[in-house]
Amino acid sequence: MIGRTLAAVTLTTALAAPPASAESVLRIAMTATDVPTATGMPNNGFEGMRFLGYPIFEGLVQWDLTRTDKPAGLMPALATAWEQSAEDKRVWTFHLRDGVRFHDGEPFDADAVIWNLDRYFKNDSPQFEAQGAGISRARVPIMGSYKKLDARTIQITTTQVASYFPYMAVYLLFTSPQSFEKAGRDWAKVQAVPAAGTGPFKLTKVTPRESADLARNDGYWDKSRMAKVDKIRLMPIPEANARIAALRAGQVDWIEVPAPDAIPSLKAAGFAVTTGVYPHVWPWIFNVGATNSPVKDVRVRQALNYCVDRPAVVSFLNGTAEAASGWFNDGNPDFGTPKNRYLFDPKKGKALLAEAGYTAKKPLSLKIMISASGSGQMSPMPMNEFMQENLKQACDVDVSFNVVEWQILLNSSRALPDAASLQGSNALNVSSPTSDAGVMVRYFAADRFPPNGFNFPNWTDATFDKALKTLAESSDPAEISAATKAAHERLVDDPPWLYVVHDLNPRGMSPKVKGFVSPQSWFVDLTLVSMP
């Protein structure tokens, strides 16, 4: 009922306030149930970063989202360069870009960087933001100290050596300190100011549960990336069928995650459906650490991975996904050579379950916490229902669901194993980026149990952690690759997750949308898109 109400409100708003004909306006339907927070560190996972993050607010480092032929790498943003100290590899120096101003006219400089870092990492700072701090500390768990060297140079010291630190720094976004002052030093009121970033789009208006409006930043510092559309309207429409209806009716120009069964008819009607390789896995994340958890037994975790009919899931999704037998995509050069390759093998799955004490007479029962929609969740309700039937038919596994709102599910991934909020869940269905070693560390390192990271399973493996240490401390690409392979092999052979599919990132678009590039990333470059 909530999703239908939100969709109705959103569509009514879109119809009631049509854009001026002289302006080009791109209207996007998100999967979120609400507009992500617009203070400069959005919630709602990576969908929040995709739409209310990077287009408006920037970091020292940014993703290169211009290519489709390889995973997105990093490029300079508000820092023109950075280097790791040879004497102490925990120390990183960032050289700030000159001549950049926030949307409110305030200069971007070292003082603004330190102010924002205090906002995230200094609890007693006047500008401390609890929600932004929680998100930032989870994504950058190795932040140690930081200081201003001069007006255009800052230095960050991490708590441990990490060759991949720039892949964490990309998630720290900067807001004008004046946004906080104009809001009376109240972060809850900042988005109404609205908040000012340095990005190619400016935030102009936020209407909670309805829409967020962006406008091109004509004073953007990177003249090679000037936006081609005048305005963007972002609307939360959590139900897939409601997004489809909005696209067909011409109420939006772009929808995230079209319902798989609607894709053929969308194409037949002249709409574009884009897909592309995407560093994203759709799993069940096992609650290994919970008291008396049946998934403590590695045989159970392996068995469940053998019991999934992944080709059938891909077919069910109309080819908008690829089978996942590990955290990485099977074609990733760092996949390695694990002992287990999780093809559909119910016989092997049942044998492993029997070894662990689960048979047709004493079936394994699991309770999974899932969401009805959300960032990167693909089509969670029908997919999970498919999994429920698949596991029952293939391996006599009984599955029940606890359906919650996406942000609640995301928050649950940072809960302790026996937290009451989990309601006895044996696994969480939270999709994951697989873009770089920094993400791997956050999700699986032994020192990254919540609240210090996203290792929700409380999973540990000595061989895995040894490999992580090697790739963190090495500067040799060959050695880093070998260590990454060794680490991934352990994620397959001692699986903390049930790997189901890798998303191919489908979007439905009006034929009016031109210039869109589907990069191998969770994020997109909205400056490339044009409308008539």
Sequence ranges of the domains in the chain = 1-38+199-274+507-532, 57-189, 280-503
122-137 pLDDT, tens digit per residue, is 999 999 999 999 999 9
Its CATH architecture, for the domain 280-503, is Roll (3.10)
Element (H, E) at 178: helix 177-182
- Length of the chain equals 532
Q: What is the pLDDT of residue 7?
A: 44
150-178 pLDDT, tens digit per residue, is 999 999 999 999 999 999 999 999 999 99
Distances (CA, A) of 406 to 44, 63, 353, 387: 8, 25, 31, 19
Its CATH architecture, for the domain 57-189, is Alpha-Beta Complex (3.90)
**Long-range contacts of residues 108-111, Cβ cutoff 8 Å, at least 24 apart:** 108/78, 108/174, 108/198, 109/151, 109/152, 110/148, 110/149, 110/150, 110/151, 110/152, 110/153, 110/154, 111/148, 111/151
Name the pLDDT band for 21 (thresholds 50, 70, 90). Answer: low
Residue 288, token pair as written in the block: 């290994």
Domains 1-38+199-274+507-532 and 280-503 share a fold: no
Distances (CA, A) of 301 to 327, 399, 485: 14, 14, 21
Which of 2, 409, 524 has the alpha carbon at shortest distance from 242? 2
Tell me the CATH number for domain 1-38+199-274+507-532: 3.40.190.10
Rounded Cα gap, residues 302 and 22, in angstroms:
58
What SS3 state is found at 366? strand
Which residue reads 């489809």 in tokens?
A: 244
378: left (phi over 0), alpha (psi -120 to 50) or beta: left
Residue 182, token pair as written in the block: 């104009």
Name the pLDDT band for 532 (thresholds 50, 70, 90). Answer: confident
Q: Is the pLDDT of residue 16 over 70?
A: no
**Residue 394 in contact with residue 430, Cβ under 8 Å?**
no
Q: What is the pLDDT of residue 3?
A: 40
pTM of this structure? 0.86
**Average confidence (pLDDT) over 301-305:** 98
Name the pLDDT band for 5 (thresholds 50, 70, 90). Answer: very low
Rounded Cα gap, residues 28 and 323, in angstroms:
28
458: left (phi over 0), alpha (psi -120 to 50) or beta: left
Q: What is the pLDDT of residue 318?
A: 92
217-226 pLDDT, tens digit per residue, is 999 999 999 9
Q: Is the pLDDT of residue 20 over 90?
A: no
Cα 383 off chain centre by: 19
